[in-house]
Structure 1
């Protein structure tokens, strides 16, 4: 069935996640739209606003939906879907940033992520866009910027999902990221159709890492040694593991990583999971619950604590928490040719898509 849509602001969506859903007012209903209709209420309610998100809803997970005249009535007599029962957060397949035109109005959205592969590929990019401070259109996608987080590539980059050549990505990176004064160029390419673009960037001198998007269905499980922890408690662990992986990293860069996760926690439900030994975290991961779709990883374990099953425990706990939250898809990204891909496959994750992470100096 065609998805239904509900308009929210970024802050409004975070409140929906905290409440677990949207309750209709007494005697009233939750306003919904079809994809063909949604530009009309968006222009009426949110003209010119750049913090609007589309909640992509599975109609089979909704109760009490009736098609009725709009408020105000549409000039052509359209009838809109109205939900007279609670809209649960678990009915939200995806949350997509919805940006206005220069004149403040909105265009009908493009293809909406409803399949498992689409939802898994789009969940992290959408969270990063909502957490970013600035966004500009580029060929085939958008560029995002997060002032104060200049050392985090994941907060300042191009997201390319539509058609774009290597030359266009290269030029857009210089024009936009260079215009923002960033000392690097980073682009994430999502989808098999961009394989040629990735090869072209490599030919132009970019370092290009092939990645796979993997997804799993949440399953029941118990991991009693895993606990949810405050973000600040992970600083010693993440500092140690990042310095092992990147010897030149400094304290400011690690701090920006933590602050970046805090910025994401302001726009979605972020859980920090850890295993302790001797009272101190020795293994940890991050779970982001964004409606019915969750994002998981990466896993970090201190070298001295590896081989003790902490990674298995964290995966089990993350899948259980996602299940409790009503998720039916948990996604992660892994390097296409590295061993974690096979490790995750043994734990129920299957490859559902391809992407590329490309970077070069300014």
Structure 2
């Protein structure tokens, strides 16, 4: 069952990258996905490695496939844990930073994980000011167009699955204080809960649990056999997700080299 779920998940993840791209090109060991309209979005201008074995000279290969694209950074994604392990030393030696995410799947037959009665659907316009503020805080020295563009790129997420829903919780004044994305894809039989965030002033009130509970409820209602999320392997939410019934099943690797 785990192998079947992994096949669904990796297939969906790769398809989601392609669907969000304005341009995509295949090469023997993977593909390039580009969004020239969003050059500051590293997540939308990247190389995805596929296959079972690492290509020889992967750092040089990345340079060759991105040559002439105008992309100044380098982001390499490996959804396969084994493939990521194989290329890590070479890419790190070439000046890339390395981060690892853990893919966590909800156990088969798991029931409701909490009360989601306060969760509602949100529109893109509800989330843009929140996204922009968060990016401005994370990148305080960046020009204004950078957080603007990183907030605007959320529109691309609407194309990554058959159904994309932005979920949120509002306070008594109507302000959005917690939100998450839900991607439902019937072709791959997957549901992903992504980008779970709670405003610092409203943490500890069960809002993240409520968002996840609503995502799980909708996934079951849609008949998706695999519900999963992705979390930073070194961060505390992994333990929180485990308590809710999510189990780590694999790792994905990200390698980033900044411009300059």
TM-score normalized by structure 2?
0.87
**2:163 maps to 1:266:** no
Distance 1:275 1:248, change over 3 A: farther
Q: 8 Å contact 2:170–2:178 — kept in the other structure?
A: yes
Note the 1:116-265 alignment, pairs <5 A.
116-162=5-51, 163-165=53-55, 167-168=57-58, 170-194=59-83, 195-217=85-107, 219-220=111-112, 222-248=115-141, 251-265=144-158
Structure 2 spans left out of the alignment, 5+ residues = none
Q: 8 Å contact 1:212–1:333 — kept in the other structure?
A: yes
Q: 8 Å contact 1:131–1:267 — kept in the other structure?
A: yes
Q: Per-residue deviation at 1:159?
A: 0.8
Q: Per-residue deviation at 1:214?
A: 1.2
Task: Describe the SS at the equivalent of 1:118.
Answer: helix
Equivalent in the alignment of 2:176? 281
Q: 8 Å contact 2:135–2:151 — kept in the other structure?
A: no
Q: Distance in 2 between matches of 1:316 and 1:171?
A: 44
Q: Per-residue deviation at 1:166?
A: 6.7
Q: Per-residue deviation at 1:230?
A: 0.5
Equivalent in the alignment of 1:331? 228
Distance 1:290 1:323, change over 3 A: same
Distance 1:165 1:133, change over 3 A: same
Q: For residues 69-119 of structure 1, what are the alpha-carbon distances to aligned partners after superposition, in whole Å with 9 as ceiling and x for unaligned?
A: xxxxxxxxxxxxxxxxxxxxxxxxxxxxxxxxxxxxxxxxxxxx9711222
Q: Per-residue deviation at 1:190?
A: 1.9
Q: 1 or 2, which has the higher helix percentage? A: 2
**Greater CA radius of gyration, 1 or 2?**
1
Q: 8 Å contact 2:184–2:192 — kept in the other structure?
A: yes
Task: Describe the SS at the equivalent of 2:43.
Answer: helix
Q: Distance in 2 between matches of 1:361 and 1:267?
A: 26
- Residue-pair matches, total: 249
Structure 1 spans left out of the alignment, 5+ residues = 1-112
Q: Per-residue deviation at 1:252?
A: 3.4
Q: 8 Å contact 1:237–1:283 — kept in the other structure?
A: no
Cα RMSD for the two superposed structures: 2.2
Distance 1:349 1:244, change over 3 A: farther
Q: Distance in 1 between matches of 2:77 and 2:160?
A: 21
Distance 1:344 1:224, change over 3 A: same
Q: For residues 123-180 of structure 1, what are the alpha-carbon distances to aligned partners after superposition, in whole Å with 9 as ceiling and x for unaligned?
A: 2221120221211223421111112011111111011122224722x12322233421
